[in-house]
Amino acid sequence: MIETLVEKCPRVETERLVLRKWEERDLDEYIRLSSDPRVTEYYRSTPSSEVCEAALQSTLKSQEENGFCFPVVEDKQSGAFLGFCGLSIPDYSDLLPCEPCVEIGWQLFPEAWGKGIAGEAARFWLSFGFDTLQLDEVVAFTVVQNHRSRRVMEKLGMVHDPADDFDFPGTDPKHPLCRNVLYRLSKKRFLEQLNG
């Protein structure tokens, strides 16, 4: 698969998926994804269409600057937009305690949950991050209550140290979704997992 790489963020196919860059045409599906209450259960607020449009423009800019930004996940057979999964460089108004870093993250329609799709896409991007981008570490974070995403992180071999947990910047410490867990995966651990 590495032979097919073009630029930093390739368009690639895994067993069941197409992983590709964002395009302007993805806006409607992104709005639909971001307005599903099951998807946004652990958001501190549900984004409006205008916020989604601004977020897509920010993603396109980041993609152009960095070569990648949480790439789109499509079903290979049907071409359906399933959500996104991949690497990104965090760009929040306040620094996270783990920055500078490269984050792996995902957001999929509920119809794609429980089928190993996030894991399939994430494994490709982790390999890409460590092999092609030569990263030493990739992180992931989510709110404490998001056990579904935490299970994916654990299945990927990521390690959680409670000492790394943090309050999300700019969030009221009393907000129930303020506290985040941080998971890390080193290149060394990733290679050890690959080699059994």
What the chain holds in terms of domains, given with CATH numbers, is 9-194 (3.40.630.30)
Is the model's pLDDT at 179 over the cut of 80?
A: yes
The average pLDDT across 94-104 equals 90
Q: How far apart are CA 160 and CA 104, in angstroms?
A: 14
Is the model's pLDDT at 156 over the cut of 50?
A: yes
Q: At what angle do helices 117-127 and 187-194 cross, to 10 degrees?
A: 110
Q: What does the pLDDT look like over 29-60, one tens digit per residue? A: 999 999 999 999 999 888 999 999 999 999 99
pTM of the entire structure? 0.91
pLDDT at 51: 95
The average pLDDT across 159-181 equals 95
Task: Count Cβ atoms within 10 A of the Cβ of residue 4 and give its class: 0-12 exposed, 13-18 middle, 19 or more buried.
Answer: exposed
